[in-house]
Amino acid sequence: MRKNWWKAVTVLLLAYVFLAGLMSPVPRLPILHESIRNTFFHPPLWIAMMVMLLSSAIFSVRYLLKGHLGDDLIAVELANTAILFGVLGCITGSVWAFFAWGALWPNDPKTNGVAVSMLMYLAYFILRSSFDDELRRARISAVYNIFAFAVFIPLILILPRLTDSLHPGNGGNPGFNSYDSDHSIKMIIRPAFVGFTLLGFWITQLRIRLRRLENKLDESEEAQKTAAFPTELPH
């Protein structure tokens, strides 16, 4: 139980975020109105996604340095979880954009950068599935994963700030500073950042355990087949 304390913290934080995020009073601002509650879900999901992708790239670097297949497994499962959070971030962002800007997917540098980034990581999974050799798959996909993260950061954090963007804090558009310093916002969004990030690591841990179990079952089945069909004929 002592090793799993952070899971209890995750449950408590997210329970608080969902209850307080939907029921607590929020600043009344033009255009946003009640949709400002999405602040407690959309940005934290994206922050958690970026943490997952950064961690995935780090484990890809570790694999290239040490050659341990366990690092490659962790890297790919972190990327899987990041894509899940990315999809949820896109859904919450689209709902927010519809009420704030009148379109589910406006022609905006940041939203377009997100679409390109998601496609890059989908290509990462396709690349992995195209190799049968385990070592070659791990090595090439690790290099691609590091490259994808290096492109991902400019696409969603740098380029939108250099062009006109509807997203707050980008392209001359004022940021959330006018209300994210409000006590009612800070008391919820900060636990949301931590809670969703911990949830991402929890999901990844479960996926890694499942993959390792599947690998053991595959190895066991292969051993049984080999024993049932010996390569040498008895004398």
On whether residue 27 sits in a domain, the answer given is no
- Provide, rounded to the nearest whole percent, the portion of the chain with pLDDT above 90: 45
For the chain, the 3-state helix, strand and coil shares in percent, each to the nearest 5, are: 80, 0, 20
How does residue 78 score in pLDDT terms, banded at 50, 70 and 90? very high
pTM of the entire predicted model: 0.83
| Tokens read off for 128 | 């992995």
How does residue 233 score in pLDDT terms, banded at 50, 70 and 90? very low
**For 163, left (φ over 0), alpha (ψ -120 to 50), or beta?**
beta
On whether residue 12 sits in a domain, the answer given is no
pLDDT score of 1: 58
Q: Which domain holds residue 114?
A: 44-209
On whether residue 3 sits in a domain, the answer given is no
Mean pLDDT of the chain: 82
Whether 83 has a pLDDT exceeding 90, the answer reads yes
On whether residue 218 sits in a domain, the answer given is no
On whether residue 215 sits in a domain, the answer given is no
Three-class DSSP category at 103: coil
Helix 183-228 to helix 5-23 angle (10° resolution) is 140
pLDDT score of 226: 58
On whether residue 34 sits in a domain, the answer given is no
Give 179-218 as a DSSP string: HHTSHHHHHHHHHHHHHHHHHHHHHHHHHHHHHHHHHHHH
Q: Mean pLDDT lowest for which of 85-94, 150-159, 160-169, 201-210? A: 160-169
pLDDT tens-digit map of 5-62: 889 999 999 999 999 888 877 666 656 667 778 888 888 999 999 999 999 999 999 9
Q: In the chain, how many domains are there?
A: 1
On whether residue 148 sits in a domain, the answer given is yes
Which whole number is the average pLDDT over 80-101?
A: 87
On whether residue 10 sits in a domain, the answer given is no
Measuring CA to CA, how many Å separate 43 from each of 3, 8, 99, 140? Answer: 29, 23, 16, 32
